[in-house]
Amino acid sequence: MQILFVHPNYPAQFGPMLERLATRGDVECVFVSRIEAGQFNGVRRIQMHQRGGAREQTHYCARTFENAVWQSHAVYEACKADPALKPDLILGHSGFGTTAFLRELYDCPIVNYFEYYYHPHDSDMDFRPEFPPQDIDYLRSRMRNAMILIDLDSCDAGYTPTRWQKQLFPREWDNKLDIIHDGVDLDFWQRSAGPRRIGDELIDDDTRIVTYVARGLEAMRGFDIFVRLANRIAEQMDNVIFVVVGSDRICYGNDRRHIKTNSFREHVIRAEQPDLKRFRFLGTVPPAELQQVLSLSDLHVYLTVPFVPSWSLLNALACECVVLASDTAPVREFIRDGENGFLAGFYDLDGLLRRALQVLEKPDEYRDMGRAGRALIAQHYDVEQTWPQQWELFQRVLK
């Protein structure tokens, strides 16, 4: 059987799946992306070449759809040019538009991974009043669902990672969407022993380590709230350092409109004036280094507006971190307050501080909470459980 994966990035959400399929002698995996062509870990990669995209004169609300159409066409051309490509099943990430034209090439089932359905109100867009969208942003949010709706109509089946994400989609598509998480590799994401070292710096046993991880240090992931919390922790305890993993890239939201600095991190540091001697900014790190950082954490802070839950939250739970998280809807699906982590309001600095100090003053007393976090992942999100669910979905549509 030949399975065609489509995503602009490789391997994206499909990494654990590809690892398991690579061990099967009866499955050939082909992956179309922007990454250069070749063989990689048993996967044949095909490179697509996008020839155009939205321009400045393209209507602001139509730019996402315009880019998705160009990308769909690039996928179509790359596949059409490969005579050895005869998929029995196509799997793509909805929203990028990558599978939209493949119905014209192949008579086989298409399964789409649906990550998010945009809403203009009571959503990520208007959760933070200090960073308000413009009127045009509300209009654009409705149009951003255009390609997602095309995919919902054209695919044979789809899946989405969490209950919260599924309830964002229109009810008429309920029967087409399964809830199946990407899965967490518990053999990799686990707490490991070793020297308390951050980079080349050896951390003594009396120092508490607070960790924060985000793809981009930005408002939607509450980086400014984290720094305010860190300042208040630092006022109360002189033996705490704050280890931050993430780039200066703004991945989501409209932070650029509200700052006059090169990055949101610079904006926050200028506004909050933290003691930078207490911070370790590591930038983007490879997974193995992130696993080591999480293994050292005495307290992991995870803050988010109502948006796609970060992989880092589940990775931290798997590494037995004591997680202090924002009490927002997507987080509540994972964290049960006082059982496998702590919840406090996104803006509740007093509540966040109280919980943080509670853990940092006696971290050994909360190791069971960290173990309960890993138990949650083992029970519901272990890739060895989610992968069979994905495979069963594929077999169902093939029949």
Q: Distance between CA atoms of 324 and 345, rounded to whole angstroms?
A: 10
The amino acid that residue 80 corresponds to is K
Kind and range of the H or E run holding 96:
none
Q: Sign (positive/negative) of CA torsion 161, 164, 168, 174?
A: positive
Q: Which residue has the tokens 């930038």?
A: 283
| Same fold yes or no, 2-183+382-398 and 197-380 | yes
Query: For the chain (length 399 residues), average pLDDT per consecutive 10?
Result: 96 92 91 95 95 95 96 97 97 91 96 96 94 93 95 96 98 97 96 91 95 96 98 97 95 86 94 96 96 97 97 98 98 97 98 98 97 97 96 96
Pairing of strands 197-198, 201-202: antiparallel
If one looks up domain 197-380 in CATH, what number appears? 3.40.50.2000
pLDDT (0 to 100) of residue 96:
84
pLDDT (0 to 100) of residue 252:
85
Domain spans of the chain?
A: 2-183+382-398, 197-380
CATH 1.10.3470.10 is the classification of domain 2-183+382-398: no
pLDDT (0 to 100) of residue 253:
80
Radius of gyration of the chain (CA): 22
Q: Distance between CA atoms of 340 and 368, rounded to whole angstroms?
A: 8
Q: Please, what is the Cα angle at 273 between 261 and 361, to 5 degrees?
A: 130
For the whole model, what pTM was predicted? 0.94
